[in-house]
């Protein structure tokens, strides 16, 4: 069931060397400014534009997998914002498949907008990019969804139906994220 709430995502991607070690950062909030999730991921050697698109794809996948049908994206990448909005052509062969995938995911949303913002308005997402790059350099695995610390367990109720567990509340997880489960039957 689609979530009627709109989420707003500040996204950023960066590369040290361009191409070089690259990462993206995503800060997701409700339209009212309440924190929903933060995502940071090191993606290996890539260009900054490739990393920007990876950030966009991450928030699109997050939105769809968590039932959010309305998404507003804020990015300091004028190139990507213009390409997604149709103002610029996608010339890079590395970006064409990412652009096509982004457009396919956007088509599944009820509402989508993307806006270019100045770097100063994107500091939180930029911080996550640099944190992921710094942690990779130091050999520390970055957290994937920082709205719930990895060491803190999450307790929820769920119903087992049709061979699947159906949570009664939304889980603070990313698509494909692995977790350990401890199941207790209710009495």
Stretch among 130-139, 142-151, 175-184 having the lowest mean pLDDT: 142-151
Tell whether the model's pLDDT for residue 142 goes beyond 90.
no
The answer to whether 128 and 38 are in contact (CB under 8 A) is yes
Question: Could you give the CA distance from residue 133 to residue 136 in angstroms, rounded to a whole number?
Answer: 5
pLDDT value for 178: 66
Question: Could you give the CA distance from residue 14 to residue 5 in angstroms, rounded to a whole number?
Answer: 29
The answer to whether 64 and 2 are in contact (CB under 8 A) is no
Q: 49, 1, 4, 64: which is closest to 30 by C-alpha?
A: 4
Domains of the chain: 3-138 (3.30.420.10)
Mind listing the pLDDT tens digit for each residue in 79-101?
Answer: 999 999 999 999 999 999 999 99
Q: Is the pTM of this model over 0.85?
A: no
Mind listing the pLDDT tens digit for each residue in 25-68?
Answer: 999 999 999 999 999 999 999 999 999 999 999 999 999 999 99
The answer to whether 30 and 7 are in contact (CB under 8 A) is yes
Half-sphere exposure at residue 72, Cβ-oriented, CA atoms within 13 angstroms = 12
pLDDT value for 100: 96
Residues 6 or more apart in contact with residue 105 via CB below 8 angstroms: 57, 60, 61, 64
Q: What mean pLDDT do residues 7-28 have?
A: 96
């Amino acid at each position: 069931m689609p979530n009627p709430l709109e989420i707003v995502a500040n996204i950023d991607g960066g590369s040290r060397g361009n191409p070089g070690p690259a990462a993206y950062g995503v800060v997701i909030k409700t339209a009212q400014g309440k924190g929903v999730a933060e995502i940071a991921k090191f993606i290996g050697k890539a260009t900054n534009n490739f990393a920007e698109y990876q950030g966009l794809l991450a928030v699109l996948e997050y939105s769809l997998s968590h039932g959010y049908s309305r998404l507003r994206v804020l990015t300091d990448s004028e190139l990507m914002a213009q390409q997604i909005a149709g103002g610029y052509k996608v010339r890079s062969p590395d970006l064409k498949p990412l652009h096509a995938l982004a457009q396919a995911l956007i088509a599944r949303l009820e509402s989508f907008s993307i806006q270019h913002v100045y770097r100063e308005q994107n500091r939180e997402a930029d911080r996550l990019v640099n944190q992921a790059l710094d942690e990779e350099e130091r050999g520390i695995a970055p957290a994937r969804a920082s709205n719930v610390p990895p060491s803190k367990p999450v307790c929820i109720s769920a119903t087992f139906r049709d061979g699947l567990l159906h949570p009664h509340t939304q889980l603070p997880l990313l698509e494909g994220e692995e977790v350990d489960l401890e199941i207790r039957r209710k009495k």
